[in-house]
Amino acid sequence: MGQIPDDAAHWDTGDWIEWHRTSLGVDDSPCAAAAQDKLAQITALHISLLRAAKGYFEMTGHHLPVYQHIAHVHAAIFCDLPLEGPDRTCAQTGVEISWLAPHSRSDDVEVDLSQPFVTLIVVKISDDFSSKARMISRADLPKSKDGPYRVAWKSLPHAF
């Protein structure tokens, strides 16, 4: 993960607000720290995706098809997973990522137990377009390798 620059005060709207900027007045030059920090870049991407999904829903009443990507970016931030895109398989990573879209009728996800995952991460995108996640070990799911299995959000033990 990236390091917070020594002169940074806090993170705000996709940029580091630096101590010397606040003490010297407004500085319109871009902050170099955010461009060099992968975590800052991924966090800014996550915020942008959530804002885009929310804006589209508020304007049209329909969902923008980005929830899978939001789930993968959330997992990259909070689980220190590489951000390689949604086309990577759980056989490569050992992680199965599922998501719950905002305004969905159910708080359950369907998991294919025949997939060779070690950990299941479920990202819930709330009706206010914020995200949170929970995870469960494959060992805590049924031993069966037959087809789909429904997992309820509230039954997932590890929140982050």
Res 49 pLDDT > 50: yes
Residue 89 lies in a domain: yes
pTM: 0.74
Average pLDDT over residues 31-37: 64
Query: Residue 82 has what pLDDT?
Result: 80
Residue 108 lies in a domain: yes
Q: Which residues are CB-neighbours of 6 under 8 A, at least 6 positions away?
A: none
Query: Residue 91 has what pLDDT?
Result: 62
Residue 14 lies in a domain: no
The more confidently predicted of residues 20 and 135 is 135
Domain that holds residue 82: 65-159
Res 72 pLDDT > 50: yes
Residue 146 lies in a domain: yes
Average pLDDT over residues 115-125: 92
Res 18 pLDDT > 90: no
Handedness of CA 134, 86, 4, 51 (dihedral sign): negative
Query: Residue 63 has what pLDDT?
Result: 95
Query: Residue 146 has what pLDDT?
Result: 81
- Give the pLDDT band of residue 137 (cuts 50, 70, 90): very high
SS3 33: helix
Residue 126 lies in a domain: yes
Q: Look up residue 130 and give its DSSP letter.
A: -
- Report the percent of the chain where pLDDT is more than 70: 71
Residue 131 lies in a domain: yes
Q: Are 122 and 99 in contact (CB under 8 A)?
A: yes
Res 50 pLDDT > 90: yes
Average pLDDT over residues 91-110: 89
Average pLDDT over residues 110-114: 92
Q: What are the strands, taking DSSP E only, across the chain?
A: 8-12, 15-18, 95-100, 108-112, 119-125, 131-137, 148-152, 158-159
Residue 101 lies in a domain: yes
For the chain, the domain total comes to: 1
Rounded Cα–Cα distance for residues 74 and 89 (Å): 17
Residue 119 lies in a domain: yes
